[in-house]
Structure 1
């Protein structure tokens, strides 16, 4: 399921707290995104068609709940990024960031720790 960047903004609101109404979502993201009510409702309808969210009628409004978890989304997006840009391999991704000087000392320490843990698991 492909989620656009705009749809991900709506999903992020729902992942933080659900269920939410379209009006509540608009109140949270409208000012920063410069979106109107119609934009939020269009995005919610797209997410409904993709079965990323569920809508339940509550009087004259709908309450939206995510069906796609944040973890599923992150896994899908990270796999897509790796496949598209790095042939599905992690090492070239890390090499790219190191060449661009985008890894802090803390990042490097965390990578070392992760590699040690992975190495220990395989022994």
Structure 2
């Protein structure tokens, strides 16, 4: 299944807020947990945590549908929103798109930085990467 989701990458943010806004992330977390929902139900859940306008939630969910992250189907007077892909699929897609962009344009720098970063911050992952590369070169994976 191929997705062409549109998002902006903000590397200084945390978690999914790197690619979705804070409210978009909260809404997606609710929908990934619930499976599907209406604006009314999502608003009710968000309103338990903070003061937020119904129209703000409605607009944000509509924009998520426009971005291709949510599917929107009419059910009577309301729309039911369903995630197009799971959270894991979304994370994998974002990682692929970000790394593809970096490796396409800045391959040497990106690879050198990744190796240096892993050596300094996560040597176990660097060893895992080394094993993965060896397996690929030997055709065993």
Q: Bin the TM-score by the shorter chain.
A: 0.5 to 0.7
Q: What stretches of structure 2 of length at least 5 have no aligned partner?
A: 1-5, 8-18
Partner Cα separation in structure 2 for residue 65 and residue 28 of structure 1? 16
TM-score of the superposition, structure 1-length normalised?
A: 0.66
Cα distance change, pair 30–96 in 1 and its aligned pair in 2 (3 A): farther
Cα distance change, pair 110–66 in 1 and its aligned pair in 2 (3 A): same
Structure 2 match to 1:92: 113
Q: Alignment partner of 2:37: what SS?
A: coil
> In the alignment, is residue 53 of structure 1 matched against residue 70 of structure 2?
yes
Partner Cα separation in structure 1 for residue 133 and residue 78 of structure 2? 49
Which of 94, 98, 117 lines up with 1:80 in the alignment? 98
Structure 1 match to 2:24: 7
Structure 2 match to 1:115: 130
Partner Cα separation in structure 2 for residue 116 and residue 34 of structure 1? 50
Which of 13, 16, 27 lines up with 2:44 in the alignment? 27
Q: What stretches of structure 1 of length at least 5 have no aligned partner?
A: none
Give CA-to-partner distance per residue, 1:56-106, whole Å, 9 cap, x none.
Answer: 22233221011244345324433427729x93524414534765xxx3xxx
Give yes or no for contact 2:70–2:83 (8 Å, CA) kept in 1: yes
What are the within-5 Å matches in structure 2 for residues 63-74 of structure 1? 63-74=80-91
